[in-house]
């Protein structure tokens, strides 16, 4: 089995002088390798192909038989590292918290410690006939969430 740590270090070195970065690496016991990269801009197919070729040149398939899949973080991929949150500022996200809540809102702030999500809820003030929409900002640490995804709306 390929060593995930050495593979991760190699990928990080390979991407070092680009705007791409590693978001996910999985090596299964039967040597199926899944690599997911992202960028501050778009990730095109040529970047994935170049990374695939670099990995195959460094880790010889004759010595260690493996299956390799390199792709980019798509719209349905969860946000896995803090750097990805900056790319999604101003976008709608779906957040699953560790306490079981599922929230939908706008990403308004992100830094190394966490992120802030602006949600809307309907509140009926005393004496009012109809509820009004109220915006609330809630800050989350990255450890306070199970999963964060781009909220696709159709």
Residues 62 and 33 in one domain: yes
Q: Dump pLDDT digits (tens) for 82-95.
A: 999 998 999 999 99
Q: What are phi and psi of 38, to 5 degrees?
A: -140, 175
Looking at residue 14, which CATH number applies to its domain?
Answer: 3.30.300.20
Q: What are the φ/ψ torsions at residue 22 (nearest 5 degrees)?
A: -80, 130
Q: What does pTM read for this prediction?
A: 0.83
Q: How confident is the model at residue 128 (pLDDT cuts 50, 70, 90)?
A: confident
Domain assignment of residue 113, given as a range: 82-150
Do 54 and 13 sit in the same domain of this protein?
yes
| Residue 46 covered by a domain | yes
User: Taking the CB of residue 144, how many other CB atoms lie within 10 A of it?
Assistant: 14
Residue 108 is predicted with a pLDDT of 97
- Give domain status of residue 77, yes or no: no
Q: Indicate whether 46 pLDDT > 80.
A: yes
For the chain, how many structural domains are there in total? 2
pLDDT of residue 51: 97
Residue ending a domain, choose from 43, 72, 101: 72
């Amino acid at each position: 089995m390929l060593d995930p740590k050495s593979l991760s270090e190699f990928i990080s070195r390979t991407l070092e002088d680009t705007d791409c970065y590693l978001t996910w690496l999985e090596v299964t016991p039967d040597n199926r390798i899944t690599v997911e990269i992202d960028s501050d801009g778009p990730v095109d197919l040529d970047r994935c192909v170049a990374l695939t070729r670099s990995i195959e040149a460094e880790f010889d398939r004759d010595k260690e038989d493996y299956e390799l899949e390199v792709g980019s973080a798509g719209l349905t991929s969860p946000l896995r590292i803090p750097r990805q949150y900056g790319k999604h500022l101003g976008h709608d996200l779906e957040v699953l918290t560790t306490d079981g809540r599922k929230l939908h809102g706008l990403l308004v702030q992100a830094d190394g410690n966490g992120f802030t999500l602006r949600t809307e809820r309907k509140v009926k003030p005393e004496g009012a006939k109809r509820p009004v929409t109220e915006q609330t900002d809630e800050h989350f640490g990255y450890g306070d969430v199970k999963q964060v995804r781009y909220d696709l709306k159709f």
